[in-house]
């Protein structure tokens, strides 16, 4: 009996070959070596008569995980689609510094008949004896990446302790970076206007609109500031002259996400540079932000209910929850009998009598009680001065017929000044 060995289709044609090159764009000498690598592998593949040149895949950005590298992902996709037989790589560390990625992708490509050949280590995934060494060297590459990451974190922390820090693109709205120091720029008026309008009680939308009308816009575009931009500015200690360094946990060298369980030390530098706003304005803004956050946690949505001045001001003296506005009817058969009323939010949530027992108050009665407590003249619901109320009253607490009013500190100070 005769036996014929039928060669595989891929063995009957030239081997389709590609190369993968990767460097970190943070180092200029490596940026130059990327072009050198690509030129070297292009000549190497094209000068081999048994090889068919397919492509040179490359990534300039540094990334520990493979899913962050577009060139790498395109190479894997082409390999899985049957376009490649052999991939040339300078070293295992260029392929991946993540041991899990390194082994997983090598195993996947091997299953599709694609060989990986590493020049520096003289290894090939087609060699069974090299598999153990391949895994060991991949682990060494990951360990090297971790060591570099720890060294970088240490150097950054040392610079922070000396008061040296890096500003993204050397720009922050309202400041210029001159010789490593923050100096107020021609845009500083925008920051002052934002804080001023916020302390006047303006909403983020109103601040954005007024700022845009005055010629203010985003740092890198002509678009108006978004609500998130304004809130970030109001919370950024940079504008009072301080600097909070290492605000969040350091980034994991593999996942590139903050390690929330890691130990780290924040550094807060007071009077680090020239502030755009004064300390008193900053403190007042932080108090207002804190009060708004407390109200949000209690369920008060002032932005959605800004049409009425009592929202965010009236609270239950029984359980502390905010009061909400409702439309009720004294007679279900008479639609004209509808009236506005205020009740504790927890009263509505209780169900079957398990909620807060505080009574429901007609809006007219509530406003009349507020006027009496403040010593204001009552002239009816339509004549109630909501703007004056908002500026004068911090909080109204209600328990059935009892009402307790806390005035704003500015109002008390003004009253004392007038009396003296």
Calculate Rg over the CA atoms of the chain: 34
pLDDT of 318 above 50: yes
Strand order in the sheet with 181-184: 171-172, 175-178, 181-184
Rounded to whole angstroms, the Cα distance separating 420 from 407 reads 19
In CATH, 168-296 is 3.90.1150.10: no
Percent of the chain with pLDDT over 90: 29
Q: How many Cβ atoms from other residues are within 10 Å of residue 98's Cβ?
A: 21
Write the DSSP symbol of residue 270: T
Q: Confidence band (pLDDT; 50, 70, 90) for 45?
A: very high
The CATH fold of domain 11-147: Rossmann fold (3.40.50)
The pLDDT tens digits of the residues spanning 14-38 come to 899 999 998 754 544 445 578 888 9
**Residue 141: its pLDDT value, please?**
56
Q: Confidence band (pLDDT; 50, 70, 90) for 231?
A: very high
**Residue 364: its pLDDT value, please?**
92
Q: Which residues contact 390 (CB under 8 A, 6 or more apart)?
A: 201, 309, 313
Tokens coding 233: 């500015």
Contact (CB, 8 A) for 95 and 116: yes
Terminal Cα-to-Cα distance of the chain (whole angstroms):
122
Of residues 234, 256, 259, the one with CA closest to residue 246:
259
Tokens coding 144: 């090297």
Contact (CB, 8 A) for 312 and 300: yes
Write the DSSP symbol of residue 68: G
Contact (CB, 8 A) for 392 and 411: yes
Query: Does the reported pTM lie above 0.85?
Result: no
Of residues 193, 195, 198, 234, the one with CA closest to residue 217:
193
Q: Parse the chain into domains and list their residue ranges.
A: 11-147, 168-296, 300-419
Contact (CB, 8 A) for 85 and 114: yes
Rounded to whole angstroms, the Cα distance separating 65 from 145 reads 11
Of residues 131, 104, 100, the one with CA closest to residue 118:
131
Quick one: CA torsion of 166, 172, 174, 175, rounded to 10 degrees? 20
Contact (CB, 8 A) for 59 and 72: yes
| Residues forming beta bridges with residue 181, ordered by sequence position | 178
Of residues 208, 274, 206, 272, the one with CA closest to residue 244:
272
Tokens coding 232: 């970030």
pLDDT of 336 above 60: yes
């Amino acid at each position: 009996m005769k036996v014929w060995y039928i060669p595989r289709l891929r063995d009957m044609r030239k081997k389709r070959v590609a190369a993968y090159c990767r460097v970190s764009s943070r180092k200029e000498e490596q940026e130059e070596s990327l072009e050198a690598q690509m030129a070297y592998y292009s000549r190497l593949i094209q000068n081999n008569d048994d090889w068919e040149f397919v492509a040179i895949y490359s990534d300039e950005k540094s990334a520990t995980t493979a899913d962050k590298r577009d060139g790498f992902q395109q190479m894997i996709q082409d390999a899985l689609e049957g376009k490649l037989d052999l991939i040339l790589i300078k070293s295992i560390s260029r392929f991946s510094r993540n041991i899990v990625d390194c082994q997983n992708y090598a195993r996947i490509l091997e299953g599709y008949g694609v060989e990986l050949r590493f020049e520096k280590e003289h290894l090939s995934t087609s060699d069974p004896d090299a598999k153990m060494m391949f895994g060991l060297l991949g682990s060494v590459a990951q360990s090297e990446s971790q060591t570099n990451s720890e060294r970088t974190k240490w150097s950054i922390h040392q610079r922070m302790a000396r008061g040296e820090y890096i500003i993204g693109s050397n720009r922050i709205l309202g400041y210029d970076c001159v010789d490593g120091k923050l100096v107020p720029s021609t845009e500083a008026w925008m920051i002052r206007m934002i804080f001023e309008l916020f302390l006047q009680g303006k909403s983020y939308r109103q601040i954005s609109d007024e700022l845009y009308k005055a010629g203010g816009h985003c740092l890198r575009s002509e678009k108006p500031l978004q609500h998130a931009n304004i809130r970030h500015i109001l919370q950024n200690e940079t504008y009072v002259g301080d600097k909070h360094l290492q605000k969040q946990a350091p980034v994991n060298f593999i996942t590139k996400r903050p390690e929330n369980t890691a130990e780290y030390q924040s550094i807060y530098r007071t009077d680090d540079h020239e502030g755009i706003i004064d300390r008193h304005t900053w403190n007042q803004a932080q108090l207002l932000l804190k009060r708004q956050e407390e109200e949000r946690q209690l369920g008060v949505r002032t932005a959605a209910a800004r049409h009425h001045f009592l929202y965010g001001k009236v609270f239950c003296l029984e359980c502390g929850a905010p009061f909400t506005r409702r439309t009720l009817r004294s007679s279900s058969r008479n639609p004209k009998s509808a009236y506005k009323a205020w009740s504790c939010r927890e009263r509505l949530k209780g169900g079957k009598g398990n909620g807060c027992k505080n009574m429901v108050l007609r809006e007219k009665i509530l406003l009349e009680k507020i006027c009496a407590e403040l010593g204001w003249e009552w002239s009816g619901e339509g004549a109630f001065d909501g703007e004056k109320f908002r500026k004068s009253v911090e909080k109204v607490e209600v328990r059935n017929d009892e009402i307790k009013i806390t005035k704003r500190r500015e109002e008390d100070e003004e009253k004392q000044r007038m009396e003296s």
